[in-house]
Amino acid sequence: MAQASLRPLVAGNWKMNGLKAAAAELEQIVAGAQALAGKADLMICPPATLIASFAAVARGSAVAIGAQDCHAEASGAHTGDLSAEMLADAGASAVIVGHSERRSDHNESDAAVKAKALAARRAGLTAILCIGETHAQRKNNETLAVVARQLAGSLPEGAAGSNIVIAYEPVWAIGTGLTPTPDDVAKVHAFIRQQLRERLGGEGERVRILYGGSVKPENAPQLLKLADVGGALVGGASLKANDFLGIAAVYR
């Protein structure tokens, strides 16, 4: 089923990029977002150091500010970590959990990702839950099995359209300039939708499923208009306001 009734979300994941001066890009995104008001939700997930100042710039605009990761606990002896409550307090309204770079750099398991998604809900943040196969897994025809396993292990009970967004991000497409064919994206998104329906019943229709991995203004029209693609999670191309807005312009 198409996601015609769900407002699409275009979220930018800045990863470990951005100093204070990058607020100029955000200001441009906030200005450009006006043309999309009511048609698409925009979000920028800067490094945690910029959340508070970016939230101040974006306040009252159509651009939400998100974080890139959180700890599962609300507070405690976890040097260097940030809780979902802290991110909410700084002005974030969402947090990415289970990004493949966290899964590989920090050995995050599905169970750990699920705990983070639950922490996000506890703090009133939307969790953007990332799943996706590696190149080897795709070559072995394991894509759907991997996605099913990750969803089974990391999607929390009680997930709903109001508290969770799924991002399908094939690991081999992230930062490489490679993307699956539109047919392949459609197939995986339809499969994810079916899994969500099985787990969440009718609420499974209300969950947005983003595509992520080398989304650019040039390929956005082919990838983002597919059935069950409810928007994009954008890395590299979200660092430049013109590129990010060029992707979101698909929904104008």
- Residues annotated as catalytic are 99, 169
Helix-, strand-, coil-residue percentages of the chain, each rounded to 5: 45, 15, 35
Residue of this chain nearest to ligand PGA (CB atom): 235
**Residue 169 in contact with ligand PGA, rule: CB under 6 A:** yes
Q: Which uninterrupted H or E stretch holds 114?
A: helix 110-122
Candidates 95, 125, 164, 215: give the one binding ligand PGA (CB under 6 A). Answer: 215
DSSP 152-209: HHHSPTT--TTTEEEEE--GGGTTTS----HHHHHHHHHHHHHHHHHHHGGGGGSSEE
Q: Which uninterrupted H or E stretch holds 88?
A: helix 84-90
Question: What residues between 195 and 214 interact with ligand PGA by CB under 6 A?
Answer: 212-214
Q: Which uninterrupted H or E stretch holds 78?
A: none
Q: How far is the CB of 18 from ligand PGA (least distance, A)?
A: 14
**Residue 12 in contact with ligand PGA, rule: CB under 6 A:** no
Candidates 84, 127, 128, 233: give the one binding ligand PGA (CB under 6 A). Answer: 233
Q: For ligand PGA, which stretch binds (CB under 6 A), given 22-30, 81-89, 136-144, 167-175?
A: 167-175
Q: Which uninterrupted H or E stretch holds 217?
A: none
Q: Indicate the residue among 91 and 212 with the shorter CB distance to ligand PGA.
A: 212
**Residue 154 in contact with ligand PGA, rule: CB under 6 A:** no
